[in-house]
Chains A and B, each alone.
Chain A
Amino acid sequence: MTGGQLADVLEGRVADPGWLADAVDRVARDPDAVATLFPAAGRRCGRGPLPGPDSQPGNAGWTVDDAARVLLLTALPLHGPELAAQVDALYRHGGADEKRAVLRALPLLDLGAAGVEILHDALRTNDTRLVAAAVGPCARQLGDAMWRQAVLKCVFMDIPLTAVADLDRRADGELGRMLADLAAERHAAGRSLPEDAGVLLALIGDLPGRGDPADRQDQRDGKAR
């Protein structure tokens, strides 16, 4: 979601809109104030679900506090390393809800390599809230090898693949190979893939150029593009 969309979708849904307007204003004047305002956003604004635009499945699952926190981050009057340090500290010291909001905000913030580090950290967790957020639009910063691992992790964690942004564009032969191997393992154990993963596997099977050698090289290198 863009900053403008955020403000629109929050209209009428925030428990204490005066608090949020004031908090955004304070952060814009004093960036260090975000350290205490950011964690408080759930208590002051509410945590209910926001209606997501159906046309953009990667935006599924946003909550009021997610959007309020993202607004606070986009109000920070910082750039470059200073912005990265402030956001990184909020992520490191944040609970799962705060970490998730940072992940949601990543496409709107230019953090450079620090943003990729945060994504990798989220994908190392086994917290479905963080992994689901990390495969959203922010995953555009992930290299293909790590992105495929992230999609497979969603399958393992029963995270619906609707959480994955750009799935139609990025799903490739190597991801298909990984899913097919997993299906074989599950079959040997008398189990099966989740339905959405089975559908994805079938769709990838229809792609031209399945198993492209360049993809396999990228997988071995584990390199971000």
Chain B
Amino acid sequence: MRIFDPHIHMTSRTTDDYERMAAAGVRALVEPAFWLGQPRTNAGSFTDYFDALIGWEPFRAAQFGIRHHCAIGLNPKEANDPRCREVLGLLPRYLARDGVVAVGELGYDSMTPDEDEVFAAQLALAVAHELPALVHTPHRDKQRGTLRTLDVVKESGIDPAYVVVDHLNEVTVGSVAGSGCWMGFSIYPGTKMSPDRMVALLREYGPERMLVNSAADWGRSDPLLTLATGHAMLAAGFTEDDVDRVLWRNPVDFYGQSGRLDLSGTHEQAADFAGNTLARGGS
């Protein structure tokens, strides 16, 4: 089983996780920029973080034959802090970089006017840079937040085929299915979605435009729940080809729209990093 995790926060995971993921069949992933748990208070904290998503993490991943790509954006929670707003002006520089295959994670947290403004501005950046957009749906007031998200996407003029609306569940999937946007599901213990519930949704809605991710981060989460979902699909009678479509070809199709997805040499040994022959993946 080959797996492309379309949404995982490796910054918050250990190198052991990369090793376990590679052993489980994960060959590629996308790490969207997100909130780190401790609120940032200035733009410099963001640029160091973005640089890590483009530099250090792909290097760490490559040591296990995993292709690491990222999405860059200002998350909605920190969009509410005026000290972080400067980040918006820095984004075009990053959205031009190799390895950046989307703008994200965008969307709503508390649905404030600041969030409206930053969300719309970043969808415009996605259009300008011909990049897909990874849009998450809020934890709180999710149904209302999902509908409002779809309204903003529509108003932005971005092609819905360039948008994934993530962290969906039984209550919110229907509205996204009819919008033309891709549907993202985070198989995340407790709060979001489970493998068995995911299988039921795949039965109901089919595999088209469906993306399954672990969204593993600093919370209680598991980077191998993509694999568990693949197994649950097979156990429920889906074919190997169905599983490959959902766990590999769909994310390749979605992020491939960026024209920057590089899946070559996923099994090659890591190259030296910036001339440094010391591979620090295990230390």
Q: Inside 8 A of B144's CB, which chain A residues have their CB?
A: 178, 181
- Residues 200-225 of A, flagged 1 when their CB comes within 8 A of B and 0 if not, give 00000000000000000001011100
Is B139 in the interface zone, CB < 8 Å from A? yes
B143 x A185 contact (CB < 8 A): yes
Is B87 in the interface zone, CB < 8 Å from A? no
B111 x A156 contact (CB < 8 A): no
A125 x B142 contact (CB < 8 A): no
Q: Closest residue to B139 on the A side, CB-wise? A: A156
CB-CB under 8 A for A149 and B169, given A124-B80, A181-B143, A189-B197: no
Q: How far is the CB of B46 from chain A (nearest CB, A)?
A: 15
From A120, A124, A156, B140 is in contact (CB under 8 Å) with A156
Is A152 in the interface zone, CB < 8 Å from B? yes
Q: How far is the CB of B232 from chain A (nearest CB, A)?
A: 16
Q: Inside 8 A of B140's CB, which chain A residues have their CB?
A: 149, 152-153, 156, 178, 182
B77 x A152 contact (CB < 8 A): no
B77 x A185 contact (CB < 8 A): no
CB-CB under 8 A for A181 and B77, given A146-B110, A222-B113: no
B170 x A188 contact (CB < 8 A): yes
How many positions in chain A have a CB within 8 Å of any CB in the partner chain? 24
Q: Inside 8 A of A121's CB, which chain B residues have their CB?
A: 39, 81
B171 x A149 contact (CB < 8 A): no
Q: How far is the CB of A168 from chain B (nearest CB, A)?
A: 21
Is B244 in the interface zone, CB < 8 Å from A? no
B142 x A222 contact (CB < 8 A): no
Q: Inside 8 A of A149's CB, which chain B residues have their CB?
A: 110-111, 140-141
Q: Inside 8 A of B77's CB, which chain A residues have their CB?
A: 124
- A223–B193 alpha-carbon span in the complex (Å): 33
B81 x A124 contact (CB < 8 A): yes
Is A92 in the interface zone, CB < 8 Å from B? yes
A92 x B41 contact (CB < 8 A): yes
From A92, A181, A219, B142 is in contact (CB under 8 Å) with A181
Q: How far is the CB of A187 from chain B (nearest CB, A)?
A: 9
Is B282 in the interface zone, CB < 8 Å from A? no
List CB contacts (< 8 Å) of A95-123 with chain B.
120-121, 123
Q: Inside 8 A of B170's CB, which chain A residues have their CB?
A: 185, 188-189
Is B239 in the interface zone, CB < 8 Å from A? no
Is B178 in the interface zone, CB < 8 Å from A? no
Is B78 in the interface zone, CB < 8 Å from A? yes
Which of B139, B140, B143, B171 gathers most chain A CB within 10 Å?
A: B140
Is A126 in the interface zone, CB < 8 Å from B? yes
Q: Closest residue to B144 on the A side, CB-wise? A: A181
Is B45 in the interface zone, CB < 8 Å from A? no
List CB contacts (< 8 Å) of A175-196 with chain B.
178, 181-182, 184-185, 188-189
A185 x B171 contact (CB < 8 A): yes
- A181–B139 alpha-carbon span in the complex (Å): 12
- Residues 189-227 of B, flagged 1 when their CB comes within 8 A of A and 0 if not, give 000011001000000000000000000000000000000
Is B37 in the interface zone, CB < 8 Å from A? yes
Is B112 in the interface zone, CB < 8 Å from A? yes
Q: Closest residue to A222 on the B side, CB-wise? A: B112
Q: How far is the CB of A133 from chain B (nearest CB, A)?
A: 16
B39 x A178 contact (CB < 8 A): no
Q: Inside 8 A of B112's CB, which chain A residues have their CB?
A: 145-146, 222
Q: Inside 8 A of A188's CB, which chain B residues have their CB?
A: 169-171
List, sorted by A's number, 30 A–B pairs whose CB atoms are closer than 8 Å. Answer: A92-B41, A120-B80, A121-B81, A123-B110, A124-B80, A125-B39, A126-B37, A145-B110, A145-B112, A146-B110, A149-B110, A149-B140, A149-B141, A156-B139, A156-B140, A178-B140, A181-B141, A181-B143, A181-B171, A184-B143, A184-B171, A185-B142, A185-B170, A185-B171, A189-B169, A189-B170, A189-B193, A221-B113, A222-B111, A222-B112
In the complex, the 4 A-B pairs of residues with the closest C-beta atoms, listed nearest first? A188-B170, A222-B112, A152-B140, A149-B110
Given A156-B140, A222-B110, 17 other A-B contacts at CB below 8 A?
A: A120-B80, A121-B39, A124-B39, A124-B80, A145-B111, A149-B110, A149-B140, A152-B141, A156-B139, A178-B141, A181-B171, A184-B143, A185-B143, A185-B169, A189-B170, A189-B197, A222-B113
Q: State the B residues within 8 Å of A (CB).
A: 37, 39, 41, 77-78, 80-81, 110-113, 139-144, 169-171, 193-194, 197
